[in-house]
Amino acid sequence: MDNNDKAAQEMTEFVLNVYKYAVDNKMDITSREDVTKILETLKPDKTNVDIDVLIQGLVALDKMTKEEAAKRKPKMPN
């Protein structure tokens, strides 16, 4: 695995961890205040986190997750 793959994997894991924490604790992923609290709790290795970019990533992940869940819901017969 080259360094780019490793960096992408670490960033993906980071965003997933933040998202999971937000969902588990019923926090708002679009709130700078909530995301800041999550970062203070998780204490990431990266101290240079752009909160606005992180929020964009969390919103995109949330949208993809909900779309995938909707596809997997069993169809009710008519």
- Averaged pLDDT score across all residues of the chain: 88
- pTM here? 0.81
Distance set, CA 16 to CA 4, 60, 72, 75, 78 (Å): 18, 11, 20, 29, 37
Tell me: the pLDDT tens digits for 46-73? Answer: 668 899 999 999 999 999 999 998 888 7
Task: Say what the pLDDT of residue 54 is.
Answer: 94
How open is the CA angle 24-13-7, to the nearest 5 degrees?
A: 160
Predicted confidence (pLDDT) at residue 5 exceeds the cutoff of 80: yes
Task: Say what the pLDDT of residue 28 is.
Answer: 97
Q: How many CB atoms lie within 10 A of CB 14?
A: 18
